[in-house]
Amino acid sequence: MAAVAANPSATAEDPEPQREAVPGLESQWRQIENGESGRERPLRAGESWFLVEQHWYRQWEVYVQGGEQDSSTFPGCINNAKLFEDQINWCLKKGLVKGEDYVLLPSAAWHFLVGWYGLEQGQPPIECKVVELRGTQKVEVYPVELLLVQHSDMGTPHSAQFSQIDSIDLVLRTAREKFLVRPEKETRLWVKNSQGSFERLCNTRVTVLDAALKSGQLVVMEIRSKDGAWPSAQPQAGNNASKEDEDFQGQPGICGLTNLGNTCFMNSALQCLSNVPQLTEYFLKNRYLEELNFCNPLGMKGEIAEAYADLVKQAWSGNHRSIVPRVFKTKVGHFASQFLGYQQHDSQELLSFLLDGLHEDLNRIKKKEYVELCDAAGRPDHEVAQEAWQNHKRRNDSVIVDTFHGLFKSTLVCPDCGNVSVTFDPFCYLSVPLPVRHKRVMEVFFVSMDPRRKPEQHRLVVPQKGKISDLCVALAKHTGVSPERMMVADVFSHRFYKIYQLEESLSGILDRDDIFIYEVSGRSAICENSREDVVLPIYLRERTPARDYNNSYYGLMLFGHPLLVSVPRDRLSWDSLYHILLYRLSRYVTRPSLDDEDDGNEKANMAAKDSIPKPGHLAACSSQNLGPEQAGPSSGVPGGRRAPVNNSPGPSHWPPRARRKHLFTLQTVNSNGTSDRSNFNEDTHAQPYIAIDWEPEMKKRYYNEVEAEGYVKHDCVGYVLKKAPVRLRECIELFTNMETLEKENPWFCPSCKQPQLATKKLDLWKLPETLIIHLKRFSYSRFSREKLDTLVEFPLRDLDFSEFVKAQNESASEVYKYDLIAVSNHYGGLRDGHYTAFACNKDSGQWHYFDDSTVLPVNENEIESKAAYVLFYQRQDVARRAQPQPDSSDPLAPPACGQPPNSEFMDVN
């Protein structure tokens, strides 16, 4: 409602109100209707106007226009009784219309009339404020009346009136006053919408109009609990657990995070960031509330910052052993879809997103101006660097910039014209490479031509960027077999995934691949017209009960390890091939006795006329006459991997073969080993693959599966390639080394006016308060991915950057020295792994190991490990400024970080 209050100088409450000298009627009309104080003048935002009942005002107009002061038309005292609902609470009636029920007078005109005629005894003046709504001045007759309640007592509302231009912060302060909330308590507001649900009033700087609040709406004030959580965020199902921990009081910051399902990467990053002292203090002391940026189009409307603040307040309340970061996880997934669901991710990637999101949500720059990047153009470095930093701060100014941002110096040199370009760019963390190993360890299986020898497992050391020929040379040193008599193949799912050529790169072979190296005759080759012997790829298949009756290929399944067998060209017949294969399988295939052997018409069937044509010549007969046995797709082969590569050119048509063999039958198949070539449309000049098909009874009787799968380990398998540890400074030196740009990412030289493969060098110019160093352990290339488990030795104290920083400040050596405060660890490989964290508590100085919901104290000598992935360092001068000065007489003063008190420790490595 309009402000209705008693004014002793303008009401009729005094028994004998003082009246001003009444001017003439013409002068009254002029002062009330016209002039600076008249009601015809324009509205001004913030001033007060008053309501006068329409009938009284019309009577006054008739009186003054009549020209006779003693006329019977005298209006008497101002009487607004018709504008009120009652004469007890003096509430305005609803739906009053200007010009029909009342007129509006400015403050001066109202006071003139009250001074001349008085106000009906007991009636309060009806004062209204002029507000500016979207550029228009308007008298606000009816303010917004809100019902204020507490979250803990929703049934007791308190009515309060607010102007549409009042801020939500005023609503919050009014609610705190009404409910007597102590100043140290943190509160927030919710509003009940027309659908009956509740919405947060996040931005307290907007007006009641901008928040679309209407009269009669319910506004709920919520008070944060002592454990840092909001009552509305507490799950109902967790009430029992919360009651058990209700009286728990521990060290602030020593709080685990529950793993929601592959969220260890998130927990590790959060624990590290939570132990950055200046950032945590910023949130604990609620300084972030004044800097929330709700209108930044690059931000998350303050939601990421608020979600992180809630997490920090709970973790540092000292009232939790562990907390469930479900709300934070939901917010992250909402604004970054790559983190939706429960797949494993990278802690450094989440950290990068979180720092960027916090920066934009807390950016003090509400409207970013356009800033043109300028090159050095021969100016001094310090001048260009200062200009670049100031330009960066003109668009980016937040606690994240204050804490984590530094400045690079980037130097590009054109190889043609020698043009030098110097720019200065901000950074949030350093991603430093690890020294690349020049050697690689590969495990292979060597299959000898001697059937009596089992396959041998070898561990070979080869050049990191070597070729297949290097692998064969390394194996030759162990076996004594010439590299020229070796063929390398990748075996997957009982078939050849790929047969490699000697000049191919080793980068195409992953560590998880099963690599077999076969000994072949010195005269062999898998290509035609080259040597006297030809190499045939051999598969093993077992016939299973047919699944249907339409002569389909579902009755054969691959098993065992395939072979590469050298066959003399003059023995390319089914009969010869059968005996050659029987000899090669003799270690685990038993020859049948004379009683078991059913020759039938073997001699006729194995006549010399059934010879296999030489490679390069086509058989005169049709491939449809290859025999009744038919091969089909294996039912046990997964379909997730791409089809094997066929690198075996040669003849594709074979003459008819015998219908019966002693132990097995032979069948030409495709490179998959899953279909008869007679029904497979492929290159007719391609070398066929041969399948050995076994009947189940024959296989059970003559095939020894245990012996077939057996292998021996060469002595070299026990050897371990010793990896020398790497110092952190070596990684930083690599980061600052000069490099040449790749072809995919050239630099456009402004002098040559064309893209150039320039040399680039990065130098450190300005270092942040907290330096994040990301060790690039994960290596990706076109053909391979690997994790580098090299031990990186990093100091816990006194990491000195003075030799790397180009902008030297000799008077302050502390600005280049850092102490470690947190480490994000990754255990495992690329496909699977687990993240944990080490962090030093800012209050106690004690190091702790964070493994999801488990938190344990640790010794300093346990922090350095091969799992270290992201390092957090704090500048020493910042640490000393932030550290409170302890009383010399206080024996309980907390030690500095890295000086843990005496306690029991647990080995976590």
Sign of CA dihedral 654, 656, 658, 664: positive
Read off the pLDDT band of 625 (50, 70, 90).
Answer: very low
Q: Which of 109-118, 310-319, 669-678 has the lowest mean pLDDT?
A: 669-678
3-state secondary structure of 698: helix
Query: 511 or 647, which is more confident?
Result: 511
Read off the pLDDT band of 10 (50, 70, 90).
Answer: very low
Strand 712-713 relative to strand 456-463: parallel, antiparallel, unpaired? parallel
Strand 533-543 relative to strand 430-433: parallel, antiparallel, unpaired? unpaired
Q: Distance between terminal CA atoms of the chain?
A: 69
Q: Mean pLDDT across the chain, nearest whole number?
A: 81
CA 220 to chain centre: 34
pLDDT above 50 (res 599): no
d(CA 695, CA 543): 5
3-state secondary structure of 278: helix
392 is an active site residue: no
**Please, where are the H alpha helices in 452-588?**
468-479, 574-584
Picking from 660, 668, 671, 655, the residue whose alpha carbon sits closest to that of residue 695 is 660
Residue 897 CA: distances (Å) to CA of 253, 652, 864, 894, 901: 14, 74, 16, 9, 10
Q: Which of 213-217, 332-336, 622-626 has the lowest mean pLDDT?
A: 622-626
In tens, the pLDDT along 132-180 reads: 887 788 888 888 889 999 998 888 899 888 988 889 999 999 999 999 9
Residues 6+ apart with CB under 8 A from 251: 318, 841, 843, 844
pLDDT above 70 (res 814): no
Query: 6 or 224, which is more confident?
Result: 224
Residue 76 backbone phi and psi in degrees, to 5: 80, -165
CA angle 444, 449, 451 (to 5 degrees): 100
Are 497 and 644 spatial neighbours (Cβ–Cβ below 8 Å)?
A: yes
Mean pLDDT of 293-313: 93
In the prediction, which pLDDT does 379 show?
86
The two structure tokens encoding residue 120: 């009906």
In the prediction, which pLDDT does 785 show?
67
Mean pLDDT of 601-620: 36
Please identify which of the residues 128, 255, 264, 749 carries the catalytic annotation: 264
Mean pLDDT of 659-682: 70
pLDDT above 50 (res 653): no
pLDDT above 50 (res 636): no
In the prediction, which pLDDT does 624 show?
30
Query: 841 or 418, which is more confident?
Result: 841
Please identify which of the residues 151, 158, 334, 834 carries the catalytic annotation: 834
pLDDT above 90 (res 889): no
Read off the pLDDT band of 718 (50, 70, 90).
Answer: confident
d(CA 358, CA 364): 12
Strand 3-4 relative to strand 126-133: parallel, antiparallel, unpaired? antiparallel
In tens, the pLDDT along 331-388 reads: 999 999 999 988 889 999 999 999 999 999 999 998 888 888 777 777 888 889 999 9
In the prediction, which pLDDT does 902 show?
40
d(CA 396, CA 764): 20
In tens, the pLDDT along 406-463 reads: 999 999 999 888 888 888 999 999 999 988 777 888 999 999 999 999 999 999 999 8
Query: 420 or 516, which is more confident?
Result: 516
In the prediction, which pLDDT does 594 show?
60
In the prediction, which pLDDT does 330 show?
93
Q: Which of 292-306, 434-448, 771-785 has the lowest mean pLDDT?
A: 771-785
Query: 6 or 435, which is more confident?
Result: 435
Are 514 and 666 spatial neighbours (Cβ–Cβ below 8 Å)?
A: no
In the prediction, which pLDDT does 595 show?
58
Is the pTM of the predicted complex or chain greater than 0.85? no
Query: Which stretches of 98-152 are assigned E, i.e. beta strand?
Result: 102-106, 126-133, 136-140, 144-150
The two structure tokens encoding residue 665: 């039958």
d(CA 775, CA 663): 58
Half-sphere exposure of 641 (CA within 13 A, CB side): 15
In the prediction, which pLDDT does 596 show?
58
Are 327 and 233 spatial neighbours (Cβ–Cβ below 8 Å)?
A: yes
Read off the pLDDT band of 903 (50, 70, 90).
Answer: very low
In the prediction, which pLDDT does 501 show?
92
In the prediction, which pLDDT does 634 show?
29
CA angle 513, 519, 520 (to 5 degrees): 125
In the prediction, which pLDDT does 830 show?
74
Residues 6+ apart with CB under 8 A from 196: none
Read off the pLDDT band of 575 (50, 70, 90).
Answer: confident
Query: 1 or 642, which is more confident?
Result: 1
Q: Which of 41-45, 217-221, 618-622 has the lowest mean pLDDT?
A: 618-622
Query: 604 or 881, which is more confident?
Result: 881
3-state secondary structure of 303: helix
In the prediction, which pLDDT does 19 show?
55
Query: Percentage of the chain surpassing pLDDT 70?
Result: 80
In the prediction, which pLDDT does 55 show?
93
Mean pLDDT of 760-775: 93
Read off the pLDDT band of 672 (50, 70, 90).
Answer: confident
Query: Percentage of the chain surpassing pLDDT 90?
Result: 46
In tens, the pLDDT along 529-558 reads: 445 788 999 999 998 876 555 554 457 899
In the prediction, which pLDDT does 651 show?
38
d(CA 775, CA 792): 9
Residues 6+ apart with CB under 8 A from 274: 253, 280, 311, 312, 315, 316, 839
345 is an active site residue: no
Most confidently modeled range among 553-562, 641-650, 670-679: 553-562
Most confidently modeled range among 24-28, 229-233, 304-308, 631-635: 304-308
d(CA 328, CA 307): 5
